[in-house]
Amino acid sequence: MLYRGFLSLVDRLPLPALRVQRWIAIAVILTQAGISVTGAIVRVTASGLGCPTWPQCFPGSFTPVGVSEVPVIHQTVEFGNRMLTFAVVLCAAAIVLAVTRARRRREVLVFAWLMPAGTVVQAVIGGITVRTGLLWWTVAVHLLASMAMVWLAVLLYAKICEPDNGVPTVQVPSPLRWLTGLTGVALAFVLVAGTLVTGAGPHAGDKSIARTVPRLEVEIVTLVHLHSQLLVGYLALLIGLGFGIYAVGAPQAVKRRLHIVLAVVVAQALVGVVQYFTDVPAALVAVHVGGAAACTAATAALWAACRTRETATIAQPHMAATL
């Protein structure tokens, strides 16, 4: 009954064209990735406790207040990051309304609803992060959750672009598809190792918490080597996957996405190398987090391209997957 009422309200909206749905889905990807970058900016500017409580900014106020204990710039940066959450929520709500109004298939609806649901989870994690005084592992979970949302948002975009009445079509042999999935797992390990580097690194998020909140007590050089070796393994898997994709004559769409992944990963590795030899400058931290989001999005797009839905008239019978 409740869902029927929701549908009756949604049906009063204009019917969104496929192009509109795609643009909203792109906005979802950009906002999910963007808030991870602004979160990094909060951390490197030591503004993590610019709003020292949650969901309010200060006790009794949802907006910054003039207090001498917290510099205005730190309040502004942290409050600005919280305000970006509204853009994330609006885009997540917009994609749910768009695909519901268009009566897209169940798979699309499920991925669309994951956007607002994931945003709520992220808000709760953010609140825990603030209330624990930026405890290093809560910061790590917060970033990893953002990367998971980027991955899901890219899959949502891919599924929106597919016809609802299409036939599931395998674009590469199953072993290569599973190898693509393995690169995603490898990327997850790289991201986890990266958060460990952050937990032991110089950018704690607030200058005072190094004295009040435990940091990760592991030699940072050791963690950097772990992070870099996992990245080498991730890149090696991608190169092996590339040989396989070309050997089987995969479609150009798959090859193109592979090229994008390789380019983004190499660029991200170069940023990491520069960071290491320049003592982790603040500006490059934000760039590196943006690169992590780009690697996540590119790998998700490659995974999505390995199995698509094609209209029955153009699907290749010998490649069609069993429903």
Range of the domain at 47: 15-319
Q: Give the bridge partners for 168, in sequence order.
A: 309
Rounded to whole angstroms, what are the CA distances from 280 to 170, 192, 314? 43, 18, 51
Looking at the domain assignment, is residue 3 inside a domain? no
Looking at the domain assignment, is residue 277 inside a domain? yes
Number of domains in the chain: 1
Distance CA 251, CA 241 (A): 14
Q: Please measure the distance between the N-terminal and C-terminal CA atoms of the chain and give it in whole angstroms.
A: 31
- Copy the structure tokens of residue 190: 């790289």
Q: Among residues 91, 68, 79, which one has the least CA distance to residue 41? A: 79
Distance CA 115, CA 152 (A): 8
Distance CA 307, CA 321 (A): 9
Looking at the domain assignment, is residue 93 inside a domain? yes
The pLDDT tens digits along the chain (323 residues) read: 777 888 888 989 999 999 999 999 999 999 999 999 998 888 888 887 888 888 888 888 888 887 767 788 888 888 888 889 999 999 999 999 999 999 999 999 999 999 999 999 999 998 898 888 888 899 899 999 999 999 999 999 999 999 999 898 999 999 999 999 999 999 999 999 999 998 887 766 566 554 566 778 888 899 999 999 999 999 999 999 999 999 999 999 999 999 999 999 999 999 999 998 998 888 899 999 999 999 999 999 999 999 999 886 544 444 444 43
Looking at the domain assignment, is residue 4 inside a domain? no
Looking at the domain assignment, is residue 51 inside a domain? yes
Looking at the domain assignment, is residue 10 inside a domain? no
* CB-based contacts of 181, cutoff 8 Å, min separation 6: 303
> What does the pLDDT read at residue 6?
85
> What does the pLDDT read at residue 45?
85
CB count, 10 Å around CB of 248?
13
Distance CA 267, CA 101 (A): 40
> What does the pLDDT read at residue 201?
77
Q: Interhelix angle for 72-101 vs 2-10, to 10°? A: 90
